[in-house]
Amino acid sequence: MHSTKHFLLTGILLMIMVLSAFSQQKTVIHIEKAKEQQYNKNLGPDIERLIGNVVLRQDSTWFYCDSAHLNEKSKNFDAFGNVHIKVSDTLNIYGDLLKYNGERREAELFNNVKLIDDTTILETEYLIYYRMKKLAVYPDHGIITSGENVLKSKRGYYQSDRKEFYFSQDVELINPEYTTYTDTMMFNTRTETAWFYSPTLMRGEDRTVYTEYGWYNTRTDIAQLERNNQLSGKEQYVESDWMFYDRNTGYGYAKGNVVVTDTTHKMILKGNTGRIWEDEGRSYVTDHASAITYDKKDSLYLHADTLFMFFDSLREAREMRAYFNVRFFRTDLQGVCDSLVYHSIDSTMRMYKSPVLWSSKNQLTADSIFIIIANEQLDSLVMYNSAFIVSRDSIEGFNQIKGKNMVGFFLENELDKIDVDGNAQTVYWVREDDGNLVGINLARSSTMSIKLEENTIKGITYFSSPAEVMYPLKDLPKEESVLKGFKWLSDQRPSDKNDIFRKVEKEQLILEEKPGNEKQPD
């Protein structure tokens, strides 16, 4: 019995609380001011006509108009002429006609509608404002002005307590830096930040940005793009899965499938991480980094741990630097080295620290190697200090050219002539036209010039103090078959564009093979 009374008492208290809360919401429409008040049966039962400088109030919201038709019983009214709703100290709404439902606290405004919240202005022809939700909705075209930003869309709504506009269909954001086109967007007027939720195109004076999700702060000029991002300028084009960019400092950070394309110099950089400092004129990609240079005839594929790109004041690429574990492949040229520099101005590629270069049958090594490209073809190369060229003549032997420095000249992308300067030495397997071996020629001279045809030595010209001897194969001293510093590194040669990512141990790069222990060619 006691529990039953307790249950009934609890129920009664809950009903009182609900009824009390309900009664609190049942506020009335107050007539604060009007020049005339009259009832007109032609307008309908319970309708009171208010004329002249009409002021109405519900709760803390004030309504101003030239005239109104008020139904106090239903708490509805229609307002006509110079309609003004003062929602708060900062939020005001204007229009020519208002239909207000006092029970639901909903306002419909028609014709020349204007919503002003602080310095933000929304203009449209039809607006619904839900007071309880602090939500304004326009279903058919609106224009928002916020600071230097102008926003247009077919549909949208404004959450006044959060200062956030939500736009859909034919959205356009115009500010001094970019004009943005999208289908779904949110804009916070307090932070002046736009959020994009669908394919979005941002057009600026010198670049275009595409993204499918991200944000852009129009006040600070900072953007973060998080899905299928593309940034294109006059000569450069950048793609990535995620991108951050600060226009003020020129700093950008990208990660995930980063691709940088320079159409002027026909170069593509790839990696999983990239950064750019525009004001400093430099950028880099790393993490599975690669570079591709292309022309009408061929492409060069290069990999290194990190690739740096340097720009001039006009943001044109002038130099690329590749650091550590460099490997590259082109149909007519392959190479490995520790670091490499490519100058786009004169199309010069410079290889440093244990460089190895392969051109057809020839393997070239030196302390450093410079390669010059002209008219999209290999033009010449310079080998500095401990220059060495090797090519396999047969399973038993190698043609070898050694000297302090060498200069090589290409004809149709194949070595045509080599000039050797300083302590020039050769081991040359001399053959008849039919391929029969004549003997092995050993020669020394201060300088010499070597002519090649189809990557085979066809003649040697000595310029000073030559010393030459020809051995039949059976009489060739074993210790004379290779020159000091001989290396055969075919196992390290990149075989195709995918092989550039193969890791090579450094000790393998300096392996010296003894005659008779050579590995078979690939």
Domain boundaries, the chain: 28-140, 243-361+502-522, 387-484
CATH topology agreement for domains 28-140 and 243-361+502-522: yes
Chain length of the chain: 522
Is the model's pLDDT at 232 over the cut of 80?
yes
pLDDT tier at 108 (50, 70, 90 boundaries)? very high
Residues 377-432: pLDDT tens digits?
A: 889 999 999 999 998 887 778 999 999 999 999 888 888 899 999 889 999 888 88
Sorted by sequence, the CB contacts under 8 Å of residue 299 that are 6+ apart come out as: 292, 293, 330, 497
Q: Are 454 and 443 in contact (CB under 8 A)?
A: no
The superfamily CATH assigns to domain 28-140 is Lipopolysaccharide (LPS) transport protein A like domain (2.60.450.10)
> Residue range 136-144: average pLDDT?
95
Rounded to whole angstroms, what are the CA distances from 172 to 185, 202, 203, 211?
A: 9, 10, 11, 15
Residues 325-356: pLDDT tens digits?
A: 999 999 888 999 999 998 877 788 999 999 99
pLDDT tier at 501 (50, 70, 90 boundaries)? very high
Residues 173-194: pLDDT tens digits?
A: 999 888 999 999 999 999 999 9
Question: How far is residue 70's CA from residue 79's CA, in Å, rounded to a whole number?
Answer: 8
> Residue range 500-513: average pLDDT?
57
Is the model's pLDDT at 92 over the cut of 80?
yes
Q: Are 125 and 111 in contact (CB under 8 A)?
A: yes
Closest CA to 187 of 225, 145, 226: 145
Is the model's pLDDT at 273 over the cut of 50?
yes
pLDDT tier at 83 (50, 70, 90 boundaries)? very high
Q: Are 158 and 135 in contact (CB under 8 A)?
A: yes
Residue 26: the pLDDT is: 60
Question: How far is residue 285's CA from residue 281's CA, in Å, rounded to a whole number?
Answer: 14
Residues 164-177: pLDDT tens digits?
A: 999 999 999 999 88
By DSSP bridging, strand 387-392 and strand 362-365 are antiparallel
DSSP secondary structure of 464-484: SS-EEEEE-GGG--GGGSS-T
Please provide the average confidence, as pLDDT, over all residues in the chain.
Answer: 86
Task: State what percent of residues in the chain have pLDDT above 90.
Answer: 57
Sorted by sequence, the CB contacts under 8 Å of residue 96 that are 6+ apart come out as: 80, 81, 82, 83, 110, 111, 112
Residue 327: the pLDDT is: 96
CB atoms within 10 A of CB 215: 19
Rounded to whole angstroms, what are the CA distances from 280 to 249, 276, 290?
A: 10, 9, 22
Token duo for residue 469: 């001897």
Give the dihedral sign, CA 55/58/60/65. Answer: negative
Is the model's pLDDT at 460 over the cut of 70?
yes
Is the model's pLDDT at 517 over the cut of 90?
no
Q: Does the structural domain 243-361+502-522 have CATH classification 2.60.450.10?
A: yes
DSSP secondary structure of 227-239: SSEEEE-SSEEEE
Greatest C-alpha distance within the chain: 133
